[in-house]
Amino acid sequence: MNPYKFRIRLSTAILFPIAAFVLLMLTTDGLLAQAGSGDKLKLPAGFKAELLYSVPESQGLWVSMTTDPQGRLIASDQYGKLYRITPTKAGKVDVEEIELEIGFAQGLLCAFDSLYVVSYGIDGKAKGKNKVGPEYQGTNKPAGLYRVRDTDNDDKYDHVELLREFVGKSEHGPHAVILSPDKKSLYICAGNATKTPNPEESRVPLNWQEDQVLTRLPDALIAATALERGLSVVTRNRKHFEPIRGIRLRSID
């Protein structure tokens, strides 16, 4: 993960009837630096970059983002909570914490009246560099695809449901959740350190292997160049997984 990022808003009246937003941040070894104005960014014709918000260190490192039906942003700290970002008429943003035991997300998507979260999982007993904050002490959730809903229509998420557990973490673990072109299914994009999540059926036989002469070495540098293992699709009922074979991904998000 590149530790240097800038938060900006990109908008164009032609391409985006409702202003689209990209929020990024600049950190160095835990020390938060003020994000730049974006004047030096190279942008396509018709785009303008404007600084909206500098994420404080207390809100962590935002690594995934999606828009909700109201045009607001949902962002996730890589090792912490979810946040909802609402643009204001004054050109600023209101940021609120989503008070649920879910986060640690590499992928987010609003679809089918739900927020889908691809989470690292939460290990409340982890130590060292993987130790979580005090609010997560004793909390344990597996890595997986989660569905988050507002069940009482008060504009606040209040229910978390695990749809499918994943085996795999880190930057080589599960990542993006993407709406299919026909808007009836979700695609789950995972790195090469993620095992296939027990599909109910497959379009090709499942008796395949990578045909390696030597035993795979579980080293990050070797794994980074290996064939990506998982691109799965879950239908709208969210309980039915099917792997898609023969696809090699060039990027994750």
Local structure of 59: helix, strand or coil = helix
Rg (Cα) of the chain, in Å, rounded? 19
Q: Is 49 within a domain? A: no
pLDDT of residue 229: 46
Q: Is 231 within a domain? A: yes
Report, as an integer, the average pLDDT of 238-253: 58
- 197, 230 contact by CB (below 8 A): yes
**Residues with Cβ < 8 Å from 239, sequence gap 6 or more?**
163
- Global pTM reads 0.70
Residue 218 pLDDT grade (very low, low, confident, very high; cuts 50, 70, 90): low
- Could you tell me what percent of the chain has a pLDDT over 90? 33
Question: Which comes out higher in pLDDT, residue 126 or 186?
Answer: 186
Q: Is 43 within a domain? A: no
Residue 8 pLDDT grade (very low, low, confident, very high; cuts 50, 70, 90): very low
C-alpha angle 55/52/108, rounded to 5°? 60
Q: Is 68 within a domain? A: yes
pLDDT at 48 over 90: no
Distance CA 68, CA 85 (A): 10
Q: Is 100 within a domain? A: yes
**Residues with Cβ < 8 Å from 4, sequence gap 6 or more?**
26, 27, 28
Distance CA 177, CA 186 (A): 6
Average pLDDT, the chain: 75
Going by DSSP bridges, is the β-strand pair 185-190/174-179 parallel, antiparallel, or unpaired?
A: antiparallel
Task: State pLDDT tens for residues 148-164.
Answer: 999 999 999 999 999 99
Count of domains forming the chain: 1
Q: Is 84 within a domain? A: yes
**Tokens 């997300």 identify what position?**
105
Which segment of 31-40, 100-109, 166-175 scores lowest on mean pLDDT?
31-40
- 123, 138 contact by CB (below 8 A): no
Backbone angles phi, psi at 175, to 5 degrees: -130, -105
pLDDT at 23 over 60: no
CB burial readout 77-113, b (16+ within 10 A) else e: bbbbbbbbbebeeeeebebeebebebbbbbbbbbbbe
Domain range spanning residue 134?
60-243
Report, as an integer, the average pLDDT of 128-132: 66
Q: Is 96 within a domain? A: yes
**Number of residues that this document lists for the chain:** 253
pLDDT at 118 over 90: yes
Report, as an integer, the average pLDDT of 2-7: 37
Task: State pLDDT tens for residues 204-214.
Answer: 787 766 677 76
Task: State pLDDT tens for residues 78-104.
Answer: 888 999 999 888 778 999 999 998 999
Q: Is 14 within a domain? A: no
Which segment of 116-125, 128-137, 229-238 scores lowest on mean pLDDT?
229-238
pLDDT at 227 over 60: no
Report, as an integer, the average pLDDT of 46-71: 90
pLDDT of residue 203: 80
Task: State pLDDT tens for residues 65-81.
Answer: 999 999 999 999 988 89
C-alpha angle 158/159/164, rounded to 5°? 150
